[in-house]
Chain A
């Protein structure tokens, strides 16, 4: 069974540009989560999507947004990139919406802002 896949592996942008990160969940999983792992800040919850709807959002500005497609894959968009957006962005998926469901993570997209 294929795990969570993320693309691209690395992404280099400059300040002010926009970035799009992609995630395909494990087959059968309907929930997709996004986390940011920035140096010194640890892993922080960004967004949760289930059945195409945004279900929960972390403490991030509106320039972080995303969507979930009918096939449950997801995109994370970051507009007006700032230097502090440099981080590893991890996508996870789970079966259903219950809080007790383990989330399974992809390898991440490393976003570097120059």
Chain B
């Protein structure tokens, strides 16, 4: 069965600290896609990144970086030098090739960055 687990419910850091959000997934498909979304207090989910199951290259975008490891079924998200504007709920999600667009979300991690 497909499942996404974000074990960290809440994380609180002080500005400029680095923080890593964990995501572990389960799937029987060999082709699947992983996503990270950010949900600020306004409610809208903002797409951050997509990773294909056959592409294990890590990715960096500014202060954001993602580490995808198939061996441990993990897709972790690191924010370097966190800022107050990073405060939000972050969701990891899984899409399987045979499920046609259905996103399976983790429970989310609420990140609070204090000044």
B75 touches A (CB below 8 Å): no
CB-defined interface of A71-105 with B at 8 Å, one 1/0 digit per residue?
Answer: 00000000000000000101010100111111111
Q: Could you tell me the distance between the alpha carbons of A80 and B46 in the complex, rounded to whole angstroms?
A: 32
| Chain A residues with CB under 8 A of B47 | 102-105
Complex: chain B residue closest to A49, CB-CB: B101
| Chain B residues with CB under 8 A of A16 | none
Interface centre among A33, A45, A94, A106 (most CB of B within 10 A): A45
Report which A residues bind B (CB closer than 8 A).
Answer: 31, 33, 35, 42-45, 48, 50, 55-56, 58, 88, 90, 92, 94, 97-108, 110
SS class of chain A's interface: helix, strand, loop or mixed? strand
Q: Could you tell me the distance between the alpha carbons of A100 and B97 in the complex, rounded to whole angstroms?
A: 8
Q: When A and B form their complex, which 3 residue pairs have the shortest distance between CB atoms, in order from nearest? A: A105-B45, A43-B105, A99-B95
Complex: chain A residue closest to B101, CB-CB: A48
Q: Could you tell me the distance between the alpha carbons of A59 and B26 in the complex, rounded to whole angstroms?
A: 19
Q: Could you tell me the distance between the alpha carbons of A88 and B47 in the complex, rounded to whole angstroms?
A: 18
Task: Tell me whether A106 and B52 are in contact (CB under 8 A).
Answer: no
Q: Could you tell me the distance between the alpha carbons of A108 and B35 in the complex, rounded to whole angstroms?
A: 20
Q: Could you tell me the distance between the alpha carbons of A44 and B45 in the complex, rounded to whole angstroms?
A: 13
Q: Could you tell me the distance between the alpha carbons of A107 and B67 in the complex, rounded to whole angstroms?
A: 29
Find residues 1-59 in chain B having any chain A CB closer than 8 Å to their own CB. Answer: 32-33, 35, 37, 42-47, 50, 52
Task: Tell me whether A100 and B50 are in contact (CB under 8 A).
Answer: yes
CB-defined interface of B80-100 with A at 8 Å, one 1/0 digit per residue?
Answer: 000000000001010111011
Q: Could you tell me the distance between the alpha carbons of A99 and B82 in the complex, rounded to whole angstroms?
A: 31
